[in-house]
Structure 1
Amino acid sequence: MNIRRGKEQEASELSELAYRSKAYWGYSDEFMEACRDDLTLSSAYIETQEVYVLEDEGSIKGFMSLEKDAEQEQWLLGYLFMEPEAVGKGYGKALWQHMVEVAQKLDIPVITIHSDPYAEPFYLSRGAKRVGEIASTVFPGRILPLLEVEIEKERSVE
């Protein structure tokens, strides 16, 4: 297993992975099509944000990103998606741990997560806390879990 920075030329491949991953939860075709823009990464996004790809057995199994929301002065978990056949194999936990390590290096104290309802149990099991709800940017009236995870400072080895 290898986790590395995402490459600008992977924007389309990562976007399609995000789409397949979201569809894993059984959402309707209409719902998925409405989400397509939100699940699409640009090469500029990959270049300017903290995007990391997990590879194993010669292929991409998942990816995650941290993005700085300058308006809100906070960091968001922008994406954390797995190939459907990779779910339950520890890749999500590995990406989560990598996210924590990146946050520690960047001295990020808290990461905010606008969670899909189906993904909330995973985040809660990793130490995130539900702090409220947030309106969906895609579907008026749809409410999503709003989570936060506090990042412990990296311990220095003396």
Structure 2
Amino acid sequence: MEELQNRSASHWNYPAGYFDWAGDARRIRESYIRENPVYILLDGRGRDVGFYSFTTEDDELLLDRMFVDVDQIGRGHGRTLWEHAVRTALDLGRSDFIIGADPNAAPFYESMGAEWYASKPTEEPTWTVQMYRFTISRQRRSPR
């Protein structure tokens, strides 16, 4: 998953070493997978094409990671992962969740109906985490 995450992030053409300031924040340890809901999207051949994960932050559900492999971006996999994440949030008893987004991914979350509420600075002054909240509508809460 870590390799898929890195390939996905390469879509934005960050220069080599750009995220060195983040330290281990981009690492995905086995304990992270054991302790948090993590879901992988496979293609028809069983290849990992994307994944997402939830964590909790201040008792709120946080969509911590959502990545689609760089050669699969634009094929609807992000929407598939998003729809699964919404159902997962409901299954976890939540009516909303927050998202900490790469600034480049912000338009995707906005198109899914998430609402921006803050920017969080990082150690890198040219990169801020964009914070969104997604409230699950009543229509989505009804069984299909």
Fold similarity call, TM over 0.5: yes
Question: Which residue does 2:46 correspond to in 1?
Answer: 58
- Compute the displacement of 1:125 (Å): 0.4
What value does the CA root-mean-square deviation take over the aligned residues?
A: 1.7
Identity, in percent, stands at 29
Query: Size of the alignment, in residue pairs?
Result: 141
- Compute the displacement of 1:19 (Å): 1.2
- Compute the displacement of 1:111 (Å): 1.1
Amino acid at match of 2:52: M
The alignment status of 1:43 with 2:25, answered yes or no, reads: no
Decide which of 21, 26, 31 is 2:13's aligned counterpart: 26
The alignment status of 1:94 with 2:76, answered yes or no, reads: no
Listed as ranges, the matches of 1:7-156 within 5 Å are: 14-35=1-22, 37-56=24-43, 57-69=45-57, 72-136=58-122, 138-140=123-125, 142-152=127-137, 154-156=141-143
Structure 2, gaps ≥5 residues long: none
Equivalent residues of 1:19, 1:36 under 8 A apart: no
CA distance in 2, matches of 1:155, 1:134: 34
CA distance in 2, matches of 1:52, 1:90: 16
Equivalent residues of 1:104, 1:152 under 8 A apart: no
Structure 1, gaps ≥5 residues long: 1-13
Amino acid at match of 2:132: L
Equivalent residues of 2:51, 2:81 under 8 A apart: yes
- Compute the displacement of 1:36 (Å): 6.0
TM-score (ref. length: structure 2): 0.89
